[in-house]
Structure 1
Amino acid sequence: MSDTISRFIFDNSDVRGEHIRLEKSYQDILSIHHYPPGVANLLGEFLAAASLLSATIKFEGALILQVRGDGEIPLIMAEANSKQELRAIARDANEAMSTDFKTLIGNGQLAMTIAPDNGKPYQGIVSLDGNSLAHCLEAYFQRSEQLATRVWLCANGQHASGLLLQQLPSIKPDLDRWEHLSTIAHTIKNDELLNLDVETLLYRLYHQDAVRLFDSKPMVARCRCSRERVAQALISIGREELDDILLEKGQIETNCEFCNRLYQFNRSDVDALFEQGSDITRH
């Protein structure tokens, strides 16, 4: 399977790991916006990272990884949910020509938001310290979660892959074991990360260690937009402004910035939005 995430643990150890490899889902997302190569590669890293991080949390909902900066990409974000569904976007990035992380992102903040389906969202924010997304995420976990975490990410416009090692909370952590496992992972090459399946990769890295690999889960590109969500956004704009748009254009049209799906609302649709009990998803 080309789009899968896999969990693994090391026996007699407080270290866990996740591996992600994306192909079709990554290409499906890129096909919507046609980003420059450097942006496409970085977006792949964001997709891989969001997938890895969402898999470490037991919850029903979505994890959103987002960076706002003053570089060539004003905003870039990826979202992965508990159903292994992905979406991502780089906003106003069509003129970005660099392949350098710091040039693309500039100075800014890295935000990680956990949005449960039921409950209040939680967000952690740190400054962008590091010359890669992986380094920034490691710094995030060191500062915000106090969890030793190492991340490796790579994307080339066709495939996006990632590997995560994390030391679980423990009264007496085995620091020597952690150092051993993370040092071995540092030998991985980008070609290996992009092209090897998880079984082959783990054997190449840890054939002398006891690794337990769990069943892989499929990942898919799927936007969470809906007519109902768009309708709620229109209601928040207010009836007066919507009436002005209808008077000028005859109908309201809006595209989802993630999947580019077009939503249209005419005057009767808008009337229905403000009528209590109306079905706003009937079209």
Structure 2
Amino acid sequence: MSDFTQRFLFDDTDVRGELVSLGESYAHVLAKHPYPEPVAQLLGEMLAAASLLVGTLKFDGLLVLQARSSGAIPLLMIECSSDREVRGIARYHASQVTPDAGLRELMPEGVLTLTVDPKQGQRYQGIVALEGATLAESLSAYFDNSQQLPTRFWLNADGRNARGMLLQALPADRLKDPEARQASWQHLTTLGDTLTAEELIGLDNETVLHRLYHEETVRLFEPMPIHFRCSCSRQRSANALISLGQADAEALLEESGGTVVIDCQFCNQRYSFDAADIAQLFVGGGSAAPSETLH
């Protein structure tokens, strides 16, 4: 298994953790667009972050992590479902992307939005400024400012592998005293800060945890697989055309020279609809193409 998250728990204190390793799904995301190295690295870090975040939530639906800015990277977006299926995309201005540029240089005036969209229940959205030097710092600040459980992130990606670690404080159980809880949290996160990018990228989870927390009692749970999967489909594209109404869909068909083409920006899949397809949509015939070739 090359793509997975793996939870761990400190038995003597109220802190949980999770590690993520992404290879194949990261490669799938990068294969869809010719991203420059700094963009690919940030996209990988965000992919790792979303994969970690979905493990902290108990819901059935979709988590969307989105960063926008006025700089070289106007948009980074990752979607991760509760089934641990991920996809991602970046928008960038190639002429403005310089080698070795960091988050602040690439995404000035950045804003990070976290959206939880459950299949049932109320949609939740939180927003924080991208003020940290790294995405990990900005995400940690989001949790500090949102009055949720204290949470820290460590994220790295190198264009081949995307890795991350999360620590999150749990409600008081083993440690009731607030000062003892704070001291334990500070101790564990300080040790986490000694983890280098090379160690996080290059070492397996057992070695990472031993190197950081060999004096703690840590339980490592079974890994949970993650997969790349784009949620686009011909049916969803057809539904978008139906939502326009028949008159507007037919007008779009005429403007497009007889074929409406809908491109998925995440995976580059194309869905084409000709006059017969459009007509079929509005007589309840479904989205399967009536012509000889399915688009």
Mapped pair 1:230 → 2:228: no
Q: Letter of the aligned partner of 2:48 in structure 1?
A: A
Partner of 1:80: 80
Q: CA deviation at 1:85?
A: 1.0
User: Counterparts of 1:135-214 in structure 2 under 5 Å?
Assistant: 135-170=137-172, 172=176, 173=178, 174-214=181-221
> Which runs of 5 or more residues in structure 1 are unaligned?
none
Counterparts in 2 of 1:169 and 1:278: CA distance versus 1, 3 Å: farther
Distance 2:123 2:282 in 1: 28
Q: Letter of the aligned partner of 2:251 in structure 1?
A: D
CA deviation vs aligned residue, 1:49-107 (integer Å, no higher than 9, x gap): 00000111111111110011101111111111111111000024444413221121110
Q: Letter of the aligned partner of 2:209 in structure 1?
A: L
* Alignment counterpart, residue 250 of structure 1, candidates 258, 261, 264: 258
Distance 2:205 2:29 in 1: 23
Q: Letter of the aligned partner of 1:211 in structure 2?
A: V
Q: Letter of the aligned partner of 1:252 in structure 2?
A: V
Percent of paired sites with the same residue? 48
TM-score (norm 2): 0.91
User: Does structure 2 conserve the Cα–Cα contact (< 8 Å) formed by 1:72 and 1:96?
Assistant: yes
Distance 2:190 2:38 in 1: 28
SS in 1 for 2:146: helix
SS in 1 for 2:144: helix
> Which runs of 5 or more residues in structure 2 are unaligned?
none
Q: CA deviation at 1:246?
A: 1.7
Distance 2:119 2:167 in 1: 27
Partner of 2:110: 108
SS in 2 for 1:165: strand
CA deviation vs aligned residue, 1:85-144 (integer Å, no higher than 9, x gap): 110000244444132211211103110001112333211112222111111111111111
SS in 2 for 1:225: coil
Q: Letter of the aligned partner of 1:209 in structure 2?
A: E
User: Does structure 1 conserve the Cα–Cα contact (< 8 Å) formed by 2:87 and 2:266?
Assistant: yes
User: Does structure 2 conserve the Cα–Cα contact (< 8 Å) formed by 1:39 and 1:93?
Assistant: no
Q: How many residues align?
A: 282
User: Does structure 1 conserve the Cα–Cα contact (< 8 Å) formed by 2:72 and 2:94?
Assistant: no
CA deviation vs aligned residue, 1:143-170 (integer Å, no higher than 9, x gap): 1143211110001101110000010133
Q: CA deviation at 1:260?
A: 0.5
* Alignment counterpart, residue 266 of structure 1, candidates 274, 279, 285: 274
User: Does structure 2 conserve the Cα–Cα contact (< 8 Å) formed by 1:71 and 1:102?
Assistant: no
Distance 2:93 2:24 in 1: 22
Q: CA deviation at 1:240?
A: 2.8
